[in-house]
Amino acid sequence: MKIRKVAGALGAEITGVDLRELTDASQLRSLWLEHLVLFFRDQQLTPAQYIAFARRWGQPIEYPFVKGIEGFPEIIEVKKLEHERVNFGGIWHSDTAYLEVPPMASMLLAREVPPHGGDTLFANMYLAYETLSEGMKRLLEGLKAVNTSSRADVSRTREDRVNSNEQKEYSAEHPVVRTHPETGRKALYVNVAHTARFAGMTEAESAPLLGYLVQHQVRPEFTCRFSWQPGSIALWDNRCTQHNPVNDYHGYRRLMHRITLAGERPR
């Protein structure tokens, strides 16, 4: 097994591993906690093999808005067709932060990719917090943010839009700064797609500070970029990262399979 860092802030590409044969994920988990997002290439997994790998990592759960593929309710399609202009989740976010218990992790397996474009950006929320001034850290200490699915129009799928009148609205309050339960490090936990305001404040009152935080947390030096190939997998930690799929491949098809893993209530 070889490990190659893809950027200074986060991300490592792992080679020399066949995930179909993986029986012990402990070494990979240590690398994941260190690098926040792991990338694998040339992993030609069937849905059954894909879900088996996910179960070695955590508990796969169903996505609240989209049905899974046939026979595997925890695997959803992330799809953009040739005629479509809007992609899935095309904005910086941490997955489903509007749930009372948001996911620990997500993994994405590329099935079909465009001839160019369609990369995904990732950002390190440890660095986003650690580079704040001491005064800002004191200001954020104890603050909670209201996250809502009603704000998530740009991060919804095709099915979400078609069935928008039938969808349940989710809302949850979480700490603005959360402590990672495995590493003990603090991470900034607000995002432009889901965070509407600070608890106890109006949206107008919250806007100036939220606006600063969501710009600060995706500074280029906090990020890495991954270019997909068929069989590529990305596995990221939702508790300390954000991601943003770049929508620069109009006229081409892109199909990914996503699995979400159960997490814990942010603290």
**Active site positions, annotated:** 93, 95, 243, 258
Token code pair at residue 84? 């479509």
- Looking at residue 175, the DSSP 8-state letter turns out to be E
Asked if 146 contacts 210 with a C-beta cutoff of 8 angstroms, the reply is no
DSSP states of 36-104 as a string? SEEEE------HHHHHHHHHHHS-EE--SSSPPBTTBTTEEEEEE-TT----TT-SSB-TTTTSSS--S
Q: Which residue has the tokens 């797609």?
A: 193
Q: Which residue has the tokens 């700490």?
A: 175
